[in-house]
Every structure is written in C-alpha cells, then in structure tokens.
Structure 1
Amino acid sequence: MQTSHTTASAAATTSLARRIVAASWKPVLFAVLMWLSAAAGEIPIPGTPVPITLQTFVVMLAGLMLPWRQAGAAVATYLAAGAVGLPVFAGGTSTLALVGPSAGFLFGFLPGVVVIALLRGKSDTSSFAAAARTAGRYLLAALVGGVVVVYAFGFVIQSALTGAPLAAVALASMGFVVGDAIKAVVASLAAAGLSKLGR
C-alpha cells in the first residue's frame, strides 16, 4: 500500500513538473526575444529620448501567439529581469529605464500584450477568406493593444516624468506610430501564417 501511494505521489509530482515546464517555456522564450530585440540595436528619433527597437513587434507576436496569461507572463518576466538589474532594456539599461523617459512604454507592454491576446480571437485558416479574416482580426488586436494601449501609457508617463506637455510628447512620438503600424501588419501576417502551419 505504501509503495503504490509513493508511486502515485511521484507520478503526480512528475505530472505537475511537466505542466509547469509546458506552461512556462513559451513565456520565457518571448521574454528572451524581447531582450534580444532590445539588444539588437536601437534607432534614435530626433526630438524624443525614446529609441526605436523591435520590442513592440515581439510584444505583438507574443499577444497574437500565446494565451493572455502566458503573454502577460512573458512581458512580466522581461520587466522583472530589468527591475532586478539585468541589462535587458534598450541600450543595455536596466532598473533606471523603469523610471526614465521609456518607462511608460515599458510598463505599457504588459496591458498591451494582454489586450492583444484577448482581442485576437480564434485562428481560422481553413480557407483563404477565413485566413484573411484572421489576419484582419490579428491586425486590429495588434494596433489596439500594441499601439493604442502602449502609447497611452508611454505618453502619459513620459509627460509626467519630463514635465513636457502631453501634446508635445505625442507629436514627438509620431515617428514611432508609423513604424509600429508597419510592425503590426507584419506581426499579424506572420502570426496568421504560423497558426496555419501549426494546424
């Protein structure tokens, strides 16, 4: 009796460990991709202290490809890594970026990725028309979560930290909006295509 109980406990522990690994490897992968997208380089925009990186693209992909809890966990892991001092943010920065001009955009990634994941709906690639509708939903989700939500946080917090008027911050950031709209198109097409491959 003791042996069968011990075997059942060991099986339950193994099963739990497998579920934890299965649920956590994708968020960790996307957190690493966010770091790599920041480490790959940045493009400065005149008039604003916030550089262009591929981070919003990775946020969009995470929201389009993961359930909302895993997508949120990926961004939370990335932010936590920077908060404890790892140089994962643009320019190899860490903790200070969370109180600098980019802070609002970084914090906006978390609600943004959750909104994307909740808005994207189910993938349907059974026909060309269904795949086009899926890509359209994905694009809308990426624009709302990855641009509107992230920028709302970014503008408000940057204005509060720098003392610049909100309108001036928004105007200076328009160069980002165009780039992120293009990223949203690419991310939605890529995620729709990858969901078709996964069928």
Structure 2
Amino acid sequence: MQTSHTTASNATTTVSFTRRLIAVSWKPVMFAALLWLASAAGEIPIPGTPVPITLQTFVVMLAGLMLSWRQAGSAIALYLVAGAAGLPVFAGGASTMALVGPSAGFLIGFLPGVVVTALLKGKAATHAAGFAETALAAIRYFAASTIGCVVVVYAFGFLVQSALTGAPLAAVALASMGFVAGDVVKAVVASLAAAGLAKLGR
C-alpha cells in the first residue's frame, strides 16, 4: 500500500511539475518564435549601414512589456541560442555568423534591453482601469521600451558595430538615426498595444 501511495504521489508531483513548466515556458517559446517570424517577414536596407530594418525590435518591446523580466529574458535567450546553434532565425535567414557580424551588438543587446524594459514598465492596467490609468500605463510602457529597447540595445549595437567595422562611433550612430526614429515609432505602437491588451486580459 505504501508503495502504491508513493508511486501515485510521485506521478501527481510529476504531472504538477510538468503543468507548471508548460505554464511558465509557453510564452517565452511563443515570443522566440515571433522573433523568428519577424525576421523572416523581410528586411528594409538603410543606405550607409549594413544593418537592415526588421520588426524584431517591435517584438522585443512587446515581450518586455507583456512578460515578466525572467520570461522576456528567456524568450530572447532562446532566440539567440537557436541562432548560435545554426538555425536560420536572424534577418535574411542568417544564423551563427550574424552573432559575429555588424548586427551582432543589436542582437546581443536584445537580452539586456528586454530585461530593462520588463523591469521598468511598472504595473499593468487592470480590467477595471479607466482611460486615465490606461493612458498612464501606456506612457510608462513607452518610457520603459525606449530606455530598454532603444537606448540599451543601440548602445550595444553602436559599440560592437564600431569595433567590428573600424568606423568611428559617431559615424555609426549618425548612419543609424533612421533606425532610431523607426524604433521610437515602434515603441509608441507597442506601448499602446500592450496597455490595451493588458487591460483586456485582466
């Protein structure tokens, strides 16, 4: 009887652990897949810089705004590990070599950037929140995504690209201003979307 009880207890524990694992891991896996889809959707080249525009930053912003910092960090880490392992998940179907190329700093910067965004976003708007509370949440989200997914990511991107190409840091930054402007717009859209979705989901 004791053996049967122990076996049943172990089975229950295993099922419970599996459910908890699925509950905490499906969102990071989903956002890692969304990052791959965003890079596979296409890229827009910018004259003067070897790094193209994609929707990846937008997905990183959403991950930081909609997930806990652990889940958001796990999503980006999974994406980077997939690319490092040789899967064609980066822009243009690139994989491992992208992590040592001109866009490496931006890709690596996604990880600290998304964690900073998730930590700075504050509390989400509740289902019962009024317009003013939802608007304030969106403003917080915009500030968090701008600091994390623009300032932090671009700091990594500029430094690594300058080091790899030998171009002056100021020249790299100047050539990337088109990216910065586009990502500020993405931060606005991501913040409004995340604030609205958080309100609906609670």
| TM-score (normalizing by structure 2) | 0.98
- 2:194 maps to what in 1? 191
Pairs within 5 Å for 1:32-71:
32-71=33-72
User: What amino acid is the match of 2:14?
Assistant: T
Cα offset, 1:27, TM superposition? 0.3
User: What amino acid is the match of 2:96?
Assistant: T
User: What amino acid is the match of 2:21?
Assistant: I
User: What amino acid is the match of 2:78?
Assistant: T
| 4+ runs deviating over 4 angstroms | none
- 1:138 maps to what in 2? 141
Paired with 2:7 and 2:82, the residues of 1 have a C-alpha distance of 38
Using the aligned pairs only, state the percent identity. Answer: 73
Pairs within 5 Å for 1:59-98:
59-98=60-99
Find the residue that maps to 1:38 and give its secondary structure.
helix
- 2:172 maps to what in 1? 169
Cα offset, 1:2, TM superposition? 1.2
Pairs within 5 Å for 1:122-137:
122-125=123-126, 126-137=129-140
Runs of at least 5 residues in structure 2 that lack an aligned partner in the other structure: none
RMSD of aligned alpha carbons: 0.5
Paired with 2:4 and 2:192, the residues of 1 have a C-alpha distance of 54
- Deviation per CA, 1:62-98: give whole Å up to 9, x if none: 0000000000000000000000000000000000000
Runs of at least 5 residues in structure 1 that lack an aligned partner in the other structure: none
Cα offset, 1:165, TM superposition? 0.5
Cα offset, 1:127, TM superposition? 1.0
User: What amino acid is the match of 1:167?
Assistant: A
- Aligned residue-pair number: 199
- Deviation per CA, 1:95-150: give whole Å up to 9, x if none: 00000000000000000000000000101241111101000000000100010000
Paired with 1:154 and 1:41, the residues of 2 have a C-alpha distance of 20
- Deviation per CA, 1:139-175: give whole Å up to 9, x if none: 0001000100000000000000000000000000000
Paired with 1:198 and 1:84, the residues of 2 have a C-alpha distance of 35
- 1:28 maps to what in 2? 29
User: What amino acid is the match of 1:56?
Assistant: T
